[in-house]
Amino acid sequence: MKLYEYSAAELSEMLMTGKCSSAEIAYDVSERIKEAEPAVGAYITLNDSMLRDAELIDNARNRGGLPHPLSGIPIAVKDNISTAGIRTTCASRMLSSYIPPYDAHAVDCLHRAGSIVTGKTNMDEFAMGSATDTSFFHTTHNPIDTAYSAGGSSGGSAAAVCAGEAILALGSDTGGSVRQPASFCGIVGFKPAYGAVSRRGLIAFAPSLEQIGVMGKTVRDAELLYQLISENDPMDPMMRTCSCKHSSSLRIGVPKELFDSTIVSDECREASFSALRLLETDGAVLTEISVPKLRYAANIYYVISSAEASSELARYDGVRYGHRSQNAAGLESMYVKSRTEGFGDEVKRRIMLGTFVLSEGSREAYYLRALAAMRELRHELDAVFDSCDIIAAPTYPRPPFSANEAQSATDKYSADICTVPANLAGLPALSVPCGKAKNGLPVGIQLMSPAGAEQRLFAAAKKYEELCGGFAQFRGGSGYAV
């Protein structure tokens, strides 16, 4: 068994007991990248100093330093999370040559713990997409079957973990971008509550909704990485700590709106119910609930996120930030050409939608109504948690789709209905594999809790992982098809 096939927790134990070195792990991962990357396309930029960094970690460990469990563990970083000295592009031509002068807080946490950054993973441009196919550089493919999508927008991070091209990965989640690709690739994806992890250094798309999240082969791996990056950051005023009363029992709310047969495929619905029935045999109590505003969650999300994207991306004008056209006749022409050349079609679509909903005459009809509906959704979810500890639903309403499948924007947007509620309400949510679709690809179940109850999610997910016998089975054999 190659070192890249082990979980982070297993490798941590091996490092502490001297059964392997950080350099050996990094070497195995680097060789795996060379082997798998041509078919998978998980990375945009690799860290050329990864092997040298691993040797430094080994030297520090030999001197008695670096006691953190993730010291010496190779971790991939999504390409919208700033890394000092390593190109950070957001998978866009607009930032194709940008090298940040500083590390994001989450990356700084990795460095201080002695973790090893493998490189920057591919993504949908500016995190706008669900298949990692809007990247300026290339499409990322599912390592289990490269004819299929790895999901998005953090598809490169999910594929890297699934394929063994990294042991763990950081992603970002604005409407499901950690959980959906984790589901597609048969791994664990966790989106923390809003404010639980510093957003400093995360290049913004929709700042009121997005959060840095984590990916790993097991629930314990994801928990270790979350614990590492959730360190307080005094430079992020949005960070907050929440506490939630612990419940010794497990009451699971099953929202009928997210199990509706007109929304969720039979395969995904049945796989989720199978997981819930397994938890029920261990004492969990299942209760059908209703959260009426869930039906409108995708509509609410795309109005608000597009409005924020329109504002956030206005800074990329060819003067202060990003790509500058060399074929402009004047100032106005330079603005137009720079943005036309620098942004891809999906980003332009979101900017135009956001500009429209913020425009005079439309702001009240769309944007302000969406904000009001979001507040109502939050109130409904708060009320539901009075009678249940967590909410469960399919992570995505359909199985992983083929890499070249044509989908309309409407179809793609509406499929986010299961994941966007957690972002709209600022709640933590976790996706774990729970079965396979007829096409042989994994499907996931999502668990969501009140803010501050992250440990409740991890405990429930670890119990399911134990009951089902582990998640490797859902990735297909060892989980490495390339």
Eight-class DSSP state of 340:
H
Q: Choosing from 78, 120, 293, 337, which is the catalytic residue?
A: 78
The sheet with strand 116-121 has its strands ordered as: 43-46, 116-121, 74-78, 168-173, 211-216, 188-191, 429-436, 442-448, 390-394, 251-255, 285-289
Contact yes or no for 180/298 (Cβ under 8 A) = no
Residue 383 structure tokens: 């009320």
Query: Is 153 an annotated catalytic residue?
Result: yes
Q: How many CB atoms lie within 10 A of CB 40?
A: 25
Based on the residue annotation, tell me whether 293 is a catalytic residue of this protein.
no
Q: How many residues does the chain have?
A: 482
Spatial CB neighbours of 266, under 8 Å, sequence gap ≥ 6: none
CA angle 49, 217, 123 (to 5 degrees): 60
Residue 405 confidence (pLDDT):
87
Phi, psi of 2 (to 5 degrees): -70, 155
Backbone angles phi, psi at 300, to 5 degrees: -60, -45
225: tokens are 């990485």
78 is catalytic: yes
What are the φ and ψ backbone dihedral angles of 419, each rounded to 5 degrees? -95, -30
Q: Which structure tokens are listed for 331?
A: 């100032």
Cα–Cα dist 408/82, whole Å: 32
Spans of the chain below 50 pLDDT: 477-479
CA distances to 27, 113, 221, 284, 342 from 86, in Å: 20, 19, 25, 46, 20
Neighbour-count burial for 386-405, b at 16+ CB within 10 Å, e otherwise: eebbbbbbbbbbebbbebee
- Comparing C-alpha atoms, which of 349, 346, 431 is closest to residue 394? 431
Selecting among 12, 130, 177, 230, the annotated active-site residue is 177
Could you give all domains of the chain from N- to C-terminal order, each with its CATH number?
A: 3-245+427-475 (3.90.1300.10)
Amino acid sitting at position 244:
C
- Write down the pLDDT at residue 360: 94
Give the pLDDT score at 387: 94
> Which tens digit of pLDDT belongs to each residue from 428-450?
999 999 999 999 999 999 999 99
Q: Are β-strands 74-78 and 116-121 bridged in parallel, bridged antiparallel, or unpaired? A: parallel
Q: What is the pLDDT of residue 147?
A: 97
| pLDDT number for residue 476 | 64
Segment holding 191, helix H or strand E: strand 188-191
Q: What is d(CA 269, CA 264) in angstroms, rounded to the nearest whole number? A: 6
Selecting among 153, 172, 198, 230, the annotated active-site residue is 153
> What pTM did the predictor assign?
0.97
CA 155 to chain centre: 8
